[in-house]
């Protein structure tokens, strides 16, 4: 048995996970991210023990704990090097956790952990897998030869931070034109807002009045209902995503490319045009093609992936 922990800016989610990736028990507590890391880690350890017992296991049944954290992670030393969202700066999270529970602890970047969970649960018979999440940002992970590719320094797989429009929209990372600035939910909301301002007659205004605010669903739902301005926003947004997917496939040619995050719930509306774009424009015209899919695990990917990442490190 393994513990997988998904440390987010809002909640700490903990799961008891078996070797096949099945979650046997789960629980969460608020992160209160303004706190010192020592307090956050104490809560993580207490909740991990609680979930273990709630799942009918003894603490001795747990072989390792995996923790998915946002930010730059030194996986070899179990240190959160930097996580702006959590105010962690060279925080030795693994060692601190072990003060509460002396057990192997493995830290992983949260997007990498989610990628690894999705890979192990849906594509482990393949040698290569790329995962892209369309959320507040555009994150992801890369699995090659069955292992996460971190880069030589652990900072790799920042697939949201490749420019698709040189000198384009400013990105939070300091660059311009990053995929994240066009294909994140944040970007989609901005694109939706701009289209609403340009089209006072669009049905999106009524939708937003009813729902209370613009969201990533505004353009998709109003497009489905036939609104022209919404359709233009949706189609252009999907084109941005497709551009990023195609670029990554030209570099890595993974066996499977999975798209996750909130927007991925749009399913075929999102997937079909991306597949068509890649079929038409990918450089590979003569060899077998990457299988482009919608991810399946949604919120559980983080917990399951953290557990699998810990599992992969055990002898």
List interacting residues with its own copies (CB under 8 A).
72, 74, 81-82, 126-128, 142, 144-145, 149-159, 161-166, 173-175, 177, 239-240, 243, 246-248, 250-255, 280-281, 283-290
φ/ψ (deg, to 5) at 298: 45, -125
**Rounded-to-integer distance, Cα 41 and Cα 165, Å:** 40
Residues 6+ apart with CB under 8 A from 102: none
Complex with its own copies: residue 125 or 268, whichever CB lies closer: 125
Complex with its own copies: residue 36 or 281, whichever CB lies closer: 281
Least distance to its own copies from the beta carbon of 125, Å? 11
Complex with its own copies: residue 120 or 161, whichever CB lies closer: 161
**Helix or strand holding residue 269 (H, E):** helix 268-281
Angle between helix axes 268-281 and 228-252 (nearest 10 degrees) is: 50
Complex with its own copies: residue 183 or 208, whichever CB lies closer: 183
Complex with its own copies: residue 71 or 262, whichever CB lies closer: 71
Least distance to its own copies from the beta carbon of 141, Å? 11
On whether the CB atoms of residues 293 and 258 are closer than 8 A, the answer is: yes
Least distance to its own copies from the beta carbon of 227, Å? 24
**Rounded-to-integer distance, Cα 48 and Cα 124, Å:** 27
**Rounded-to-integer distance, Cα 11 and Cα 242, Å:** 31
Least distance to its own copies from the beta carbon of 131, Å? 13
Q: How many CB atoms lie within 10 A of CB 33?
A: 18
**Helix or strand holding residue 68 (H, E):** strand 64-69
**Rounded-to-integer distance, Cα 7 and Cα 107, Å:** 10
Complex with its own copies: residue 109 or 202, whichever CB lies closer: 109
State the number of CA atoms in the 13 A half-sphere of 40 facing the CB. 27
Least distance to its own copies from the beta carbon of 212, Å? 33
Least distance to its own copies from the beta carbon of 79, Å? 11
Complex with its own copies: residue 55 or 140, whichever CB lies closer: 140
Least distance to its own copies from the beta carbon of 246, Å? 8
φ/ψ (deg, to 5) at 24: -95, -25
């Amino acid at each position: 048995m393994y513990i997988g922990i998904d440390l987010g800016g809002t909640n700490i989610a903990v799961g008891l996970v078996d070797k096949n990736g099945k979650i046997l028990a789960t629980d969460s507590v608020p992160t209160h991210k303004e706190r010192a890391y020592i307090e956050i880690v104490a809560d993580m350890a207490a909740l991990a023990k609680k979930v273990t017992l709630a799942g009918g296991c003894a603490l001795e049944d747990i072989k390792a704990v995996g923790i998915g954290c946002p930010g730059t992670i030194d996986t070899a030393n179990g240190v959160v090097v930097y996580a702006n969202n959590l105010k962690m700066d060279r925080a030795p999270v693994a060692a601190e956790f072990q003060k509460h529970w002396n057990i192997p602890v493995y830290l992983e970047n949260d997007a990498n952990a989610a990628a690894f969970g999705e890979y192990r649960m849906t594509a482990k018979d393949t040698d290569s897998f790329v995962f892209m999440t369309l959320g507040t940002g555009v994150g992801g992970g890369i699995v090659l030869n069955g292992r996460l590719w971190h880069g030589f320094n652990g900072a790799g797989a920042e697939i949201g931070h490749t420019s698709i429009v040189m000198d384009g929209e400013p990105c939070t990372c300091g660059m311009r034109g990053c995929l994240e600035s066009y294909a994140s939910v944040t970007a989609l909301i901005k694109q939706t807002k701009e289209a609403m301002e340009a089209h006072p007659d669009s049905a999106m205004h009524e939708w937003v009045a009813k729902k209370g605010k613009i969201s990533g669903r505004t353009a998709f739902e109003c497009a489905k209902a036939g609104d022209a301005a919404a359709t233009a926003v949706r189609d252009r947004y999907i084109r941005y995503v497709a551009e990023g997917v195609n670029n990554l496939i030209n570099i890595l040619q993974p066996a499977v490319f999975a798209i996750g995050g909130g927007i991925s719930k749009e399913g075929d509306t999102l997937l079909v045009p991306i597949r068509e774009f890649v079929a038409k424009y990918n450089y590979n015209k003569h060899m077998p093609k990457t299988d482009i899919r919608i991810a399946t695990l949604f919120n559980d990917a983080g917990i399951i992936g953290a557990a699998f990442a810990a599992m992969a490190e055990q002898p």
